Amino acid sequence: MKKRMKEVRWHGRGGQGAKTAAFLLAEAAMDDGKYFQGFPEYGPEREGAPIKAYTRISDRPILQHDAVSDPDVVIVLDDTLLGSVPVTDGVVEDTILMVNTKMTPDEVVKKIDWHGGRVYTIKATDIAMETIGKPIPNTPMIGAFIGATGMINEKALESKISHKFLKKLGQEGVDANIEAVRKARKAIAEVKDK
Amino acid sequence: MTTATVKKIRRAFTGNEAGAEAMRQINPDVAAVFPITPQTELMHAFASFVANGKVKTELVMVESEHSAMSATVGASAAGARAMTATSANGLALMWEIVYIAASSRLPIVMPIINRALSGPINIHCDHSDMMGCRDSGWIQMFSENSQEEYDNLIQAIRIAEHPDVLLPVMVGQDGFIISHSLESVEVFDDEEVRDFIGEYHPKNPLLDTDHPYTFGPLDLQDYYMEHKRQQHQGMQNARQVILDTGKEFGEKFGHHYSNFEEFHLEDAEIGMIALGSTAGTAKVAVENLREQGKKVGLLKLRVFRPFPFKELVEAVKHLKGLIVLDRSDSFGAMGGPVFLDVSASLNNLTKKPVTRNLIYGLGGRDMKVQDLEKIFGMMEKTVKTGKGAGSSQYYGARGDD
């Protein structure tokens, strides 16, 4: 059965912002005129514990409310999760994998026996440190996601970031996050067509 | 379908945020709050509206749900538009006062974030909490998604406060699945919503000391039964009021509501009854199977009390097979609560669909599109062979398949 939407699964550790990223991507999709869902998987919540969150994006209203079982994109915010949680669950041959790591895509493929589609690695924590000044990889990973998939418009994400974070982070914080998004998107775009 | 011209904006809301947004626009005089997962975020969001002066509500922080419902009953009896919200064990602890709210004819509206009752302890979705008080005299509605949570709460105020009804309403949304899931919600203009709800004129407020009334007196063999008969009538009257309110809401806001929604049901051979978020997932299963030429359809039950038995029979009587999904068990009964009411409704038909009941999704167990497609297939087989007809079974429990 052909899927009617795109589904993203986020893997992170409690405190890394997987849920925030899943929601932020969903909200950016809304500003891009699309339908969306964003939801975390709730278990026992502890800082540092592995958590999953999901984003669904579609051109038409999303009616289903089941869990995501065969994601189109898997995003891993923390490479210590590779090999310790099943990031390959439900992966099909064209599922894209994106990992925040210093490893190369080949090293990631070997480590987790990846059988899906393209693999992108990105030093999102470094980018976050350079731009935002904190080791929070989630906004750069959304930038990387846009670079790899083109699934939503970068401008929609940027305006969502300024709208959502201006009060909390100020203009400087907003600009830093937008810079992080741009850097990550560019880094992915450079390797995408190789 | 949408002809309404009311100003609306699209917002990204979780189910809890959608509930809080409806409460902001309703602007109740009093809200009693006590936290319980997964309801906590709804009242958390509403409490910040109170703190920021967005509403004029007096927020009463209480020490338990029993007190939350008691405070709501007290405020409502005094003449206030009063609300509270809870989940699962919180609703169970309110129990005694839940009945008193209904029998005192107090038009309280309460969002319920549906969660499995303990034990074993579980924070995820099923409908055992609301089904447990289906005979309490409250009107009960279930929401498929965040939009319906918002829409239903607005309508619930009108239904509860209607002079022919004067009964409390609980509006369910599936815990976590909806309450913590971010979705697109159309939010209507504040003024238009307030105009739709109207000003509240309590019938017999305790604070009207010029016209003193007694609430909750001893009522023995002499009059108890007459009061129950009136309560019964209020629930009967709610049937028409729910339909009228849904129609008026549709005309004004463009979202149309009835007792239930029919989805490809009219020409279907195999039908399914589901409520809450599963109904949305089932729509995708129906669409997929229709593409394969299967004549399947869905009846999404929105109003569970008063149970719309007459309309429901009309909507399903042409079916060859009808599978009823229950997200709670009625231990020792012929099936789950929805199945019992559906079976009783079909009782007087001479030619009725073959029925079957599945109890699923307890404690948040996932129900996938593929599961629902499989269930339609099961029902098709039951119609052909008669095997499983009239039965009630668990679906998706280990060791059972």
Instruction: Show residues of chain A in contact with B12, CB under 8 Å.
Output: 23, 26-27, 30, 36, 38
CB contact under 8 A, A40 and B180: yes
What is the edge-to-edge ordering of all strands in the sheet holding A119-122?
A119-122, A96-100, A73-76, A6-13, A50-58, A35-40, B182-188, B8-13
- Note the pLDDT of residue B45: 98
ipTM of the complex: 0.93
- Note the pLDDT of residue A194: 58
pLDDT in tens, A75-120: 999 999 999 999 999 999 999 999 999 999 999 999 998 999 999 9
Size of chain A, expressed as the number of residues it contains: 194
Within 10 Å of residue A96's Cβ, how many Cβ atoms?
Answer: 19
Instruction: Tell me how far apart the alpha carbons of residues A7 and A69 are, in angstroms, rounded to a whole number.
Output: 9
Q: Which of B12, B174, B369 lies at the smallest CB-CB distance from A26?
A: B12
CB contact under 8 A, B280 and A38: no
- Using the CB atoms, write b or e for B353-387: b if 16+ within 10 Å: bbbbbbbbbbbbbebbbebbbebbebbbebbeeee
**Domains recognised in chain B with CATH numbers:** 8-197+220-253 (3.40.50.970), 260-394 (3.40.50.920)
Mean pLDDT of B23-33: 98
CB contact under 8 A, A65 and B10: no
What is the edge-to-edge ordering of all strands in the sheet holding B321-326?
B260-263, B296-301, B270-274, B321-326, B354-359, B392-394
Instruction: Inform me whether the pLDDT recorded for B1 exceeds 80.
Output: no
Residue of B nearest to A35 (CA): B184
The dihedral built from the CA positions of residue B238, B240, B246 and B249, taken in this order, carries a sign that is: negative
CB contact under 8 A, A42 and B281: no
CB contact under 8 A, A39 and B145: no
CB contact under 8 A, A66 and B368: yes
Instruction: Show residues of chain A in contact with B124, CB under 8 Å.
Output: 42
Query: How many angstroms separate the Cα of B227 from the Cα of each of B104, B218, B224?
Result: 9, 12, 5
**Domains recognised in chain A with CATH numbers:** 6-192 (3.40.920.10)
Instruction: Inform me whether the pLDDT recorded for A1 exceeds 50.
Output: no
* Residue A2 binned pLDDT confidence (cut-offs 50, 70, 90): low
Is A1 strand, coil or helix? coil
Q: Is B12 on the interface with A (CB under 8 A)?
A: yes
pLDDT in tens, B339-397: 999 999 999 999 999 999 999 999 999 999 999 999 999 999 999 999 999 999 999 99
Instruction: Show residues of chain A in contact with B178, CB under 8 Å.
Output: 65
pLDDT in tens, B229-267: 999 999 999 999 999 999 999 999 999 999 999 999 999
Interface test with B, best of A2, A64, A68, A70 (most B CBs within 10 A): A64
Distance of CA A5 to the CA centre of its chain: 16
Mean pLDDT of A34-43: 90
Residue of A nearest to B292 (CA): A1
Q: Is B284 on the interface with A (CB under 8 A)?
A: yes
Mean pLDDT of chain B: 97
pTM (2 d.p.): 0.96
- Note the pLDDT of residue B5: 78
CB contact under 8 A, A65 and B180: no
Instruction: Tell me how far apart the alpha carbons of residues B86 and B170 are, in angstroms, rounded to a whole number.
Output: 10
Q: What percent of chain B has pLDDT over 70?
A: 99
Q: Is B27 on the interface with A (CB under 8 A)?
A: no
pLDDT in tens, B121-130: 999 999 999 9
Mean pLDDT of chain A: 92
Query: How many angstroms separate the Cα of A179 from the Cα of each of A140, A175, A186, B287?
Result: 9, 6, 11, 43
With CA atoms as reference, report the closest residue to B114 among B152, B170, B156: B170
Residues 6+ apart with CB under 8 A from B48: none
Interface test with A, best of B48, B182, B290 (most A CBs within 10 A): B182
Mean pLDDT of B180-192: 97
Minimum distance, in Å, between the CA of residue B288 and any CA atom of chain A: 8
Instruction: Tell me how far apart the alpha carbons of residues B237 and B105 are, in angstroms, rounded to a whole number.
Output: 13
pLDDT in tens, B192-234: 999 999 999 998 999 999 999 888 899 999 999 999 999 999 9
- Note the pLDDT of residue B209: 93
* Six token digits for residue A148: 């790899």
